[in-house]
Structure 1
C-alpha cells in the first residue's frame, strides 16, 4: 500500500484496491482550504485506475463537525457566496462519484459533515462514539436549496428527517441504523473491513464501469439547481 498526503487530508491506496481518504484536522471543519484538499484528494483517487472503491473517515472524536463557522464569519460576502457554491458542489461530487463510496464515521458527523457522509453510497458508524445530526436549525442556519436536493435524494425516511434534520437531535449509532441513516454499525476497529465488504458487494463479481456508474447516479440523483457536468475537481 502507499499514500499521498497533506498534513490535513491523506489518501492511502491499499493493495486490495481501495482508496482510504482520512481527514486529520481535528474537528475537520469545512472551509476553503479544507474543501480544496478534499477535492485534490478525490482527484488523486480518480487518477488511480486500479482503485475500485473510496472509503472516507476521520480521526479521534470527529468525522467532520461541519462548516468552519469562525472562519466564515470573518469572510467577505463574495468569499462566503463562493464558499457556499463550492461546498454544495463537493456534496454533489460525492453523490455522483464514479466509484462505490463508503463513509466510515469514526466519531461525530454534524451539519456539513453529516451531508458529506450522507452523499456517500454507504455509511458505517462507530457503535461506541459519535452522533449523527444535521444541526442547522440549532445554529440558526437554513439549508441551501442545492443541499436540500442532496438531502431529498438520499433521505426518504420521514422519521429520520424529523429527528435528524427538523429537530436536529444528535442520533447515536444504534438509533441511526434503525432510522436508516446508517447501513452498519460496529467497533471502530472493524469498520474499515465492513466498508470494504459493502463496496465489494456493490460491485459484484464482474465490477461496474466507472462512467456507467456515474451516469446511473446522475440519473437517479438529478440536480435541477446545479449543472453537475460543470463541477470541476479544482475550485
Structure 2
C-alpha cells in the first residue's frame, strides 16, 4: 500500500498507528482523502488490524481543515455540494469501519480537522484546540459536523460551539464530552497506546457489531448530510465566504455586517 500523506506503524495486539504528514498544515486535500480511503480498504481486507490510531506529524496541528485557497478559487464554477459529499463519504466510511478508531489530538483540530475526529470512535487530546469554526468564515461544517456534533454533545451545546465558532482546549472539550479524555501533551502517545492496546485485546468482532448498531440508530444521518451539503453550497451565494476567506488571508477580523450581496 503506497501512501502519499500518511505512514503506518504496526504495534502489538493489532494496533496500527497512522501518522498524518501533509505539510505545511495537514489540510484535508485530495491526498489525505485518497490515503484514508486506501487505509479503510486495507482494514477491510486485513483481519490482523484490530485498532486504528490517527496522529499528526505536525507539532501543533492535528488536521487544519479544508484548503481555503482551493475553496476560494474563482477561476471557474465549483460544485460545492458535490465536493462536500465527497468528504462526507470518506468520513462515513471511516465511521463505519468494523474496528475501533482513535484520534490522538496533539494540536489544533478545527473545522474539517474536528469533523475528522468526530468520525472516529474516540478522541484523546493533549494540546491545541478543537472546534467547528466555519461560521467565522461565513461557512458551515459540511463534512458531517452539523450532524455528528449534536449527536455527540446535544443540540444546545452544539449550537453554541458552531454559532460562536468556539475553540476549546482539551479540558474544556472533555468537560462537555467532545473528547473522550484530556491528557498532558507530553503523555499523549503513552495514554493513547495504552488505551488502544486495551481495545486491541478486546472482542473486536463484537465491538464491530456494536458499532454497526450504534450507527444504525442514526437512521436519518443521510438525509441530514444531504441537507448539510446543500446548505454548504448555498453559503457561497451569500457573499460571506468571500469576506471570511479574504479576511483570513489578510489576517484581520471579518466584517460580515457589511452588505456583501447585490
TM-score (norm: length of structure 2): 0.73
Distance 2:34 2:81 in 1: 16
Give the 3 Å change call, closer, same or farther, for CA 224–72 of structure 1 in structure 2: same
Contact 1:94 1:120 (C-alpha < 8 Å) held by counterparts: yes
Q: Which runs of 5+ in 2 are unaligned?
A: 226-262
Contact 2:112 2:141 (C-alpha < 8 Å) held by counterparts: no
**Deviations, residues 11-38 of structure 1 (Å, cap 9, x unaligned):** 2222331111111113111122321122
Q: Which runs of 5+ in 1 are unaligned?
A: 228-235
2:18 corresponds to? 21
2:113 corresponds to? 113
Contact 2:15 2:53 (C-alpha < 8 Å) held by counterparts: yes
1:134 corresponds to? 132
Distance 2:188 2:130 in 1: 16
Give the 3 Å change call, closer, same or farther, for CA 206–37 of structure 1 in structure 2: closer
Q: How many residues align?
A: 221
Contact 1:134 1:168 (C-alpha < 8 Å) held by counterparts: yes
Give the 3 Å change call, closer, same or farther, for CA 156–200 of structure 1 in structure 2: farther
Matched, 1:39 2:37: yes
Matched, 1:171 2:161: no
1:73 corresponds to? 72
**For 2:12, what is the secondary structure of its paired residue?**
coil
Structure 1's consecutive aligned runs of 4 or more residues displaced over 6 angstroms after TM superposition are none
Distance 2:90 2:76 in 1: 21
Larger Rg computed on CA atoms:
2
Point out the structure with the larger helix share: 2
TM-score (norm: length of structure 1): 0.81
**Deviations, residues 44-103 of structure 1 (Å, cap 9, x unaligned):** 233321111111111211111111110122274455443211111122222222111111
Contact 1:11 1:41 (C-alpha < 8 Å) held by counterparts: no
